[in-house]
């Protein structure tokens, strides 16, 4: 009798599992049948928001339903990311994931209201914008080696701007200073815009900025000396990488991707991945990304998950070296 009951339970469990799989597949077949909310945990106008709007416009056309942007900035991306983690896992709530809340902040902050790994399903790696070593246009430094030589000759005399403590510019400069074995002083600003303005005016020595500095470079207000990526950036083809200037391994980019709350049905994740890959491979998307120096991504959800995991491990060490901790 006991064996029969056990057999019945096993059969029931298998049937329930098959039903759940069937429901998920049916949901993917009809998905989407309503607008999709895309959480952007940053204010309008920045790199994450700009990328999200380009992606949402083109992906919405492919899916036949609009992707509606919801900007929830604050706390280095933590506020909006936590909100996204608590949404229903039905494919109608997505997150524009990014380097700070989804890789760096777990080491930077004492406590997060979400788990960047357990609370999300990766969908696709969308793009990245590299950090660029820039100096004022009238700076005496013409090369990255000039900066290094001056910093070694005058420890603690050169300073660098950033958009704030723990920002991508700050942690990129930490990598640069460690690799070059130099002592440069951090000058954090309340945002990237004022930091760039002071650099262009010559009030600080240098900055490891993102591609938001491209208009300053094009306008003759800043000079680019090196790019913190594995290959030269198409927007700055004449600017060498740090590898090329003798500082291998200085890689710092603000990257962006698409994620969903944990438990979102796998068939829906697969559909979103396929459609997003088609967008990323389109000439129009690549042209729009190139306009602000972004490198286009792509690949499987598993690729993006592995990438985020590797970045989380890498930045744990960078944050440790920086000595920064935020509440």
Q: Taking a C-beta distance cutoff of 8 angstroms, is the pair 99, 304 a contact?
A: no
Read off the pTM.
0.86
Write out the residue limits of the CATH 3.40.190.10 domain(s) in the chain. 132-227
Tens digit of pLDDT at every position of the chain (327 positions): 555 555 655 555 556 555 555 555 566 689 999 999 999 999 888 889 999 999 999 999 999 999 999 999 888 899 999 999 999 999 999 999 999 999 999 999 989 999 999 999 999 999 999 999 999 999 999 999 999 999 999 999 999 999 888 888 999 999 999 999 999 999 999 888 899 999 999 999 999 999 999 999 999 999 999 999 999 999 999 999 999 999 999 999 999 999 999 999 999 999 999 999 999 999 999 999 998 899 999 999 999 999 999 999 999 999 999 998 887
Q: Report the residue count for the chain.
A: 327
Q: Taking a C-beta distance cutoff of 8 angstroms, is the pair 257, 122 a contact?
A: yes
Write out the residue limits of the CATH 3.40.190.150 domain(s) in the chain. 29-130+254-322
Tokens representing 166 are 């723990």
In whole angstroms, what is the distance from residue 100 CA to residue 326 CA? 13
Q: What is the DSSP string of 212-226?
A: GGHHHHHTTSEEEEE
List residues bridging with 326 in a β-sheet. Answer: 109
Distances (CA, A) of 99 to 1, 43, 102, 275: 57, 15, 5, 23
Q: What is the DSSP string of 10-28?
A: HHHHHHHHHHHHHHHHHHH
* Nearest alpha-carbon partner for 233 in 307, 127, 99, 132: 132
Class of domain 132-227: alpha beta
In this structure, which topology does domain 29-130+254-322 adopt according to CATH?
A: D-Maltodextrin-Binding Protein; domain 2 (3.40.190)
């Amino acid at each position: 009798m006991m064996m029969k009951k056990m057999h019945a339970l096993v059969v029931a469990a298998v049937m329930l599992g098959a039903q759940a799989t069937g429901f998920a597949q049916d949901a993917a077949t009809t998905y989407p049948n309503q607008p999709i909310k895309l959480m952007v945990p940053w204010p309008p106008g920045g790199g994450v928001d700009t990328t999200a709007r380009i992606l949402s416009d083109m992906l919405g056309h492919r899916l036949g339903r609009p992707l509606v942007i919801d900007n929830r900035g604050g706390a280095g991306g933590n506020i909006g990311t936590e909100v996204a983690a608590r949404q229903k896992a039905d494919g109608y709530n997505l997150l524009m994931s990014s380097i700070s809340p989804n890789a760096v902040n777990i080491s930077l902050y004492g406590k997060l209201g979400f788990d960047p790994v357990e609370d999300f399903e990766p969908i696709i790696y969308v793009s990245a914008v590299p950090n660029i070593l820039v100096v004022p246009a009238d700076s005496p430094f013409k090369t990255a080696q000039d900066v290094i030589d001056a910093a070694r000759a005058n420890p603690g005399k050169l300073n660098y701007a950033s958009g704030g403590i723990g920002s991508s510019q700050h942690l990129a400069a930490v990598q640069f200073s460690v690799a070059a074995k130099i002592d440069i002083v951090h000058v954090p600003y309340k945002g990237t815009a004022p930091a760039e303005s002071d650099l262009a005016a010559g009030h600080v020595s240098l900055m490891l900025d993102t591609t938001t500095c491209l208009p300053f470079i094009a306008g003759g207000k800043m000079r680019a000396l090196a790019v913190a990526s594995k290959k030269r950036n198409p927007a700055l083809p004449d600017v060498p990488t740090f590898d090329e200037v003798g500082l291998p391994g200085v890689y710092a980019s603000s990257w962006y991707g698409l994620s969903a709350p944990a438990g979102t049905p796998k068939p829906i994740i697969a559909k979103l991945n396929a459609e997003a890959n088609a967008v990323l491979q389109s000439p129009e998307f690549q042209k729009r990304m190139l306009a602000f120096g972004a490198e286009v991504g792509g690949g499987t959800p598993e690729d993006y998950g592995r990438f985020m995991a590797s970045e989380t491990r890498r930045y744990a060490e960078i944050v440790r070296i920086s000595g920064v901790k935020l509440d």
